[in-house]
Amino acid sequence: MPTSARETIGRRRDSDSADERTLIDPLSDDERYGSEVSDGDYDHDILESEDERERLLTQEDGLGGLFNKKGGRIGNKDSNAPTKKRVKRGHNDESSALMYEMEEGAGISTPTLDRGSIESDERRLMAAGAHRQTGRKRTWRRVGIYGGVLGLFFALLFAAYRASKSEHPKDATAMLSNGTHLFASTTILISLDGFRADFLYRGLTPTLNKFVAEGISPKYMRPSFPSVTFPNHFTLATGLYPEAHGVVGNTFWDEDLQKEFYYTDPERSLQPYWWGGEPIWRTAERQHVRVAVHMWPGSEVHSDEFHPAYVDKYNGSEVLPRKVDRVMELLDRPGPIDVGALSDKPRPQLIAAYVPNVDSDGHKYGPNSTEIRQTINDADTMVGDILKGLEERNLTDIVNVVVVSDHGMATTDTSRLIQLEDLVDPTEIEHIDGWPHFGLRPKKLSDLERLHKQIVERARNMTGLEVYLRDKDMPERYHFSQNERIAPLWIIPKAGWAVIAKADGDVQEMLKNGDAYHPRGVHGYDHEHPLMRAIFIARGPAFPHTPNSRVEPFQNIEVYNIICDSIGITPLANNGTLRLPLKPVGLHSDEDNLPDETPADPVPVSVSSPSPSSSPSPSPSADAIEIHVDPPSSASPAPQPSNAASPVTASSAAPTGTHAPETWWQGLTHLAEGAQEWVDNFLKDHFTGLKNGKEGEENERPQEHR
Ligand SMILES: [Zn+2]
């Protein structure tokens, strides 16, 4: 802002006389005094000035130099426009004359001077020159004063703007310096999609293991049901169960809207009406804390002005080093109080980045494949590069880093397939929601009970599935019933099992031919199954615990609160209950700590063989009622890891989309929007008291889907 003030002054200094008049016009109080001089005196003074001007322009030295300078500039600039030039000069001299007269009084510019006398001319010229010089000095002094006042105004405006921008409810969180810049509470949240908790125990993740040793973490984090990407990423972002935020699956039907949500179709999935609750980026932006969201599911949905300052559209083919560069580039931006910060795009205090690779290859090759090892290692390297970038910037103890995942991954097998037609006639079903879990919406709702009984009866000898009615016996711990978007009848396969329609494959044929089932890895099962376990690892000033601290496992509904606390913003009410500081129960290295668990993979079974194995129950937690993994009759065989199949092309549950870089016009539009927003904010914050109303909105609770 001081810059633009300087520019304004500079422009006026260089401008022609019309502008000078504008600048001098504010002195009209004095001019009014001048205008009291008789018309005759006034005209004479102007004539006199013209004379003087012409004479002075011909002189080379002394006072003349002052004018020559200007005359030369004008001449050089506009030699083809004498009329204009003259007009300009006239104006200029008129101004000077007015200044001359009004400032020094009529007595000096006296018409009694002998204009025929050279001596007196010279004297008069000297006097006029002196007065003119004085006048000009005064003019420039005034310019200086006005410029100063203007500069001061803009400086104050800028300071006020900074104050208003950096202000948020918990600004007591002190700014931390890395030696060159001040940082408000800042957190980088990285989600490694499909990174199963025990991937940490494969000797492929030196960075993440070191990160555990330096930070605080549970042995694993439970996802929410259904353990698929979109519901869980929005649970991470909102602290709400999927039944509460409304994204109840990657695909589902909404009876009221008569529309289907389909996660990989932006046309359908990016409509604001699907996404209930408030994601953390909105919570933060509402509280004047800037957020950057890199490809996080749901972040491209904009329902109002409180969208993230930075949103990177999904690009499934982006290589990991580019993600590192992007995170670092965001971190290197000037902070809100740094000189050079853009009003709407200062350094964000929350950077949430989404990494699809491990999930993608987990589906493609399976969680035990050789191929996934490299992908796990690549993800670890990416996190390592971000931590290294922080270290290089002396930000290790200043910026919080939280690494999470959304769910695990289970190996599939042709021997663990259930033919849908063996359970229900698809022609009786209007919509099938979700995958690998099947939510059934009968064409006739009156058929619901009959179809349920039929499926339960036919599944009696099958070991790989559970059948539930949403409003009758859906396990409470699933928190998967309080939303009309949840289908009334569900077939939920056990971990590693899959239900397929004949259109997608004939199970008996596949078994006979020895066909492999794709995808090789699947998730979406019971969120408490060990194979669905996710990770949560945190480090930084918001986690001032003994390195290697261990907390009890918790569900991902807690992450929203934790991240809000880490950047000093007030979370909305949500399903989570944990707040910072976390309360460790010990260290991972404690002798009494149970050894790291690697859950058993489901084992290939022959038809009508026992169900897949289950490993020891997850640690108890407030909302974990029981582990519901095996049917009552099953005898779990000793778990044996299944072998990976050869790499094949398979469908991926990772979302797809295209990256549309910002065009120059969009950039310009954003800039204009930024300027408008800045003015609006300033007016709101300082003149209309609207800010209080804005803050009052924090008490709002979105009521939908609660
Ligand atoms: Zn997935």
For 169-176, the CB contacts below 8 A with 24+ separation are 169/287, 169/568, 169/569, 169/570, 169/695, 169/698, 170/568, 170/569, 170/570, 171/568, 172/568, 173/567, 173/568, 176/397, 176/398, 176/541
Query: Beta-strand (E) ranges in 375-428?
Result: 399-404, 410-411, 417-419
164: left (phi over 0), alpha (psi -120 to 50) or beta: alpha
CA of 77 to the centre of ligand 1 (A): 69
* pLDDT (average), residues 522-544: 98
Alpha carbons 569 and 558: distance in angstroms, whole number: 15
Give φ, ψ of 190 to 5 degrees. Answer: -115, 125
Residue 436: asked if its preceding bond is cis (omega within 30°), the reply is yes
Span of 30-39, 154-163, 224-233 with lowest mean pLDDT: 30-39
What are the tens digits of pLDDT across the range 241-285?
999 999 999 999 999 999 999 999 988 899 999 999 999 999 999
For residue 201, give both structure tokens.
Answer: 């125990």
> Can you give the pLDDT at residue 602?
87
What are the tens digits of pLDDT across the range 55-95?
444 343 333 333 333 333 322 333 333 333 333 333 333 33
- Other CB atoms within a 10 A radius of the CB of residue 142 amount to 16
CA of 376 to the centre of ligand 1 (A): 14
The residues that bridge with 674 in the sheet, in sequence order, are none
Alpha carbons 632 and 105: distance in angstroms, whole number: 110
Report yes or no: 314 and 652 within 8 Å, Cβ to Cβ.
no
Taking CA atoms, 642 is separated from 211, 359, 364, 652, in Å, by 29, 18, 15, 21
Given a cut of 50, is residue 129 above it in pLDDT? Answer: no
- Other CB atoms within a 10 A radius of the CB of residue 21 amount to 15
More confident position, 87 or 489: 489
For the chain, the first-to-last Cα distance in angstroms comes to 46
The residues that bridge with 439 in the sheet, in sequence order, are 433, 490
The residues that bridge with 438 in the sheet, in sequence order, are 491
> Can you give the pLDDT at residue 85?
33
> Can you give the pLDDT at residue 657?
31
CA of 210 to the centre of ligand 1 (A): 26
Active-site residues, by number, are 229
The conformation of residue 337, written as its DSSP 8-state character, comes to T
3-state secondary structure (DSSP) of residue 39: helix
pLDDT confidence bin for 635, thresholds 50/70/90: very low
More confident position, 412 or 335: 412
More confident position, 120 or 243: 243
CA of 493 to the centre of ligand 1 (A): 16
* pLDDT (average), residues 399-414: 98
* pLDDT (average), residues 520-542: 98
Report yes or no: 103 and 128 within 8 Å, Cβ to Cβ.
no
CA of 359 to the centre of ligand 1 (A): 5
Give me the percent of the chain exceeding a pLDDT of 90: 56
298: left (phi over 0), alpha (psi -120 to 50) or beta: left
Tokens 């990991």, residue located? 320
* pLDDT (average), residues 445-455: 97
What element of type H or E holds 254?
Answer: strand 251-254
CA 626 to chain centre: 37
What are the tens digits of pLDDT across the range 314-360?
999 999 999 999 999 999 999 877 877 777 789 999 999 999 999 99
Burial 674-683 (b: 16+ CB within 10 A, else e): eeeebeebbe
pLDDT confidence bin for 154, thresholds 50/70/90: low
What are the tens digits of pLDDT across the range 637-677?
333 333 333 222 223 333 323 333 344 444 444 444 444 44
CA of 266 to the centre of ligand 1 (A): 17
CA of 613 to the centre of ligand 1 (A): 22
Tokens 């063996």, residue located? 422
CA of 521 to the centre of ligand 1 (A): 8
Tokens 């020559």, residue located? 68
More confident position, 144 or 379: 379
Alpha carbons 290 and 309: distance in angstroms, whole number: 6
CA of 462 to the centre of ligand 1 (A): 26
